[in-house]
């Protein structure tokens, strides 16, 4: 349950670097909503369920959007001095300023950003006899939905002129390790994915300049894939015929090729990188522990999404712990990488009720009762249970 893990809450300093030059950390604290602190530093701060669709009933507001940090943000960023370098196996190496990017054709991409470890906490309760996956113990809040604005990667790669034989982009940002023994975060990914028209370099988020903690001035958007590919504060993309052997690509964020016994380790040669998100839904109202009025109509509402261009085509809701299911009403899809809202009208009877939601995408993937265990605790998408107690007024 959402309240089963004891966590502190604090004001998330999500303020802006919204076009200012060289802003120090002390200048960025501003009035902001409470967020769930999973790890205080480097910053892993989750979005409360009630805030997930807080902007126009569809998008997650910038101030409440979850933060995932490997190293923490750089101490300052000079907007005027920032440059993006694209080099390696290209005919025409590029070095672009933020103004250069803004002069190019821009696109809007509604897309779900989700930490690959979102839901890791629940592996411990679902598999109590297995070793608990290490890492930040996210519950539900390591996900958000935004409208990202920027330049298509395929346009930049076309301008650079990718050479024959190139297959990967190895990507670097401005963030640096807190400890000298920690490897810098470098993430490699396939050029094929970057050539998708949804993959962009974003400089705006929900119509505002990209916030500081979300990668100001520019971050990589890899829609439909887990957030470990969405490099923040990006400055350098090296095009190559081989993917980087850096720790965060060669050893971090790996998933078993074949799922085995819960609690049993997997050889590195039997793993592959985490890439595509899986089909998932979240109930945003009523929340766990709510007390709706018996005999009065209540709306069960939430959001659902899938990965790599798959679109949710059905959400079912159960109000009796999964014994029976009814189709929910779906909101319009904002695009193939966004989430859809859903709602279901229900009149509770007096007593305890367990509400569930189950999503199905247009490729036939169905949200499972329990996610299969894996050593990294990645890609949890099990059906959520919400318990409420209805009583007469």
Where does the pLDDT of residue 33 fall: very low under 50, low under 70, confident under 90, or very high at 90 and above? Answer: low
Mean of pLDDT values over 76-88: 95
- pLDDT tens for each residue of 13-29: 343 333 333 333 333 33
User: Mean pLDDT in the chain?
Assistant: 91
Provide the pLDDT for residue 136.
Answer: 94
First to last CA, the chain: 26
Q: Do domains 9-273 and 280-390 have the same CATH topology?
A: no
Max Cα-Cα span within the chain: 72
Mean of pLDDT values over 270-292: 96
Pairing of strands 234-240, 271-273: unpaired
With DSSP H G I counted as helix, E B as strand and the rest as coil, what are the percentages for the chain, rounded to 5?
A: 10, 35, 55
Sequential DSSP letters for 318-338: ESSTTSS-EEPEEPPP-STTS
Q: In what order do the strands lie in the sheet with 340-346?
A: 280-285, 298-305, 340-346, 329-330
Pick the CATH number of 280-390 from 1.10.132.50, 2.60.40.650, 1.20.1740.10, 3.90.1560.10: 2.60.40.650
Fold classified for 9-273: Sulfite Oxidase; Chain A, domain 2 (3.90.420)
Provide the pLDDT for residue 22.
Answer: 37
Bridge partners of 46? 36
* Percentage of the residues of the chain whose pLDDT score is greater than 70: 92
* Percentage of the residues of the chain whose pLDDT score is greater than 90: 83
Bridge partners of 109? 148
State phi, psi for 126 to the nearest 5 degrees.
-75, -30
E strand or H helix at 155, and its extent?
A: helix 153-160
Provide the pLDDT for residue 12.
Answer: 39
Mean of pLDDT values over 92-115: 98
Mean of pLDDT values over 214-218: 97
Sequential DSSP letters for 72-137: ---S---TTT--EEEEESBSS-EEE-HHHHHHS--EEEEEEEE-TTTTTHHHHHH-TTSPPPPS--
- pLDDT tens for each residue of 122-140: 999 999 999 899 999 999 9
pTM above 0.75, yes or no: yes
Mean of pLDDT values over 34-63: 92
Token pair for 46: 């989750």
Domain boundaries, the chain: 9-273, 280-390
Mean of pLDDT values over 85-109: 98
Weakest mean pLDDT among 2-6, 182-186, 241-245, 350-354: 2-6
Report the candidate in 71, 51, 76 with the shortest Cα–Cα distance to residue 63: 51
Provide the pLDDT for residue 57.
Answer: 93
Token pair for 234: 């990006």
């Amino acid at each position: 349950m959402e309240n089963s893990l004891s966590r502190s809450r604090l004001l998330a300093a999500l303020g802006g670097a919204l076009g200012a030059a060289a802003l120090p950390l002390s200048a960025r604290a501003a009035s902001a909503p409470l967020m769930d602190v999973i790890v205080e530093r480097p910053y892993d701060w989750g979005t409360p369920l009630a805030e997930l669709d807080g902007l126009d009933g569809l998008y997650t507001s910038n101030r409440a959007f979850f933060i995932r940090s490997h190293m923490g943000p750089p101490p300052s960023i000079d907007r005027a001095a920032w440059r993006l370098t694209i080099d390696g196996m290209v005919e025409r190496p590029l070095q672009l300023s933020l103004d250069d990017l803004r002069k190019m054709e821009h696109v809007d991409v509604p897309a779900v950003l989700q930490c690959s470890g979102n839901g890791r906490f629940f592996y411990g309760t679902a598999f109590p006899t297995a070793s608990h996956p290490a890492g930040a113990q996210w519950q539900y809040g390591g996900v958000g939905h935004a409208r990202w604005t920027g330049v298509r990667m395929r346009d930049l790669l076309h301008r650079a002129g990718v050479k024959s034989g190139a297959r990967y982009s190895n990507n670097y940002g401005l963030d640096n390790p807190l400890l000298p023994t920690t490897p810098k975060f470098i993430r490699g990914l396939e050029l094929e994915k970057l050539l998708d028209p949804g993959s962009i370099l974003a400089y705006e988020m929900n119509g505002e300049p990209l916030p500081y903690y979300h990668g100001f001035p520019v971050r990589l958007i890899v829609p439909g894939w887990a957030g470990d590919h969405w490099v923040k504060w990006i400055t350098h993309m090296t095009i190559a015929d081989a993917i980087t052997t850096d720790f965060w690509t060669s050893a971090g964020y790996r998933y078993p090729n074949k799922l085995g016994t819960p609690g049993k380790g997997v050889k590195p040669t039997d793993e592959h990188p985490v890439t595509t998100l899986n089909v998932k839904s979240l109930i945003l109202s009523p929340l766990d522990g709510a007390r709706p009025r018996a005999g009065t109509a209540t709306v069960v509402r939430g959001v659902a999404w899938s990965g790599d261009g798959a679109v949710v085509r059905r959400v079912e809701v159960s109000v009796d712990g999964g014994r029976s299911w009814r189709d929910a009403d779906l909101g319009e899809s904002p695009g193939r990488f966004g989430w859809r809202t859903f709602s279901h009208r229900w009149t509770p009877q007096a007593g305890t009720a367990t509400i569930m939601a189950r999503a199905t995408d247009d490729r036939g993937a169905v949200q499972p009762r329990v996610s299969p265990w894996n050593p990294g605790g990645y890609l949890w998408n099990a059906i959520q249970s919400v318990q409420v107690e209805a009583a007469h007024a």
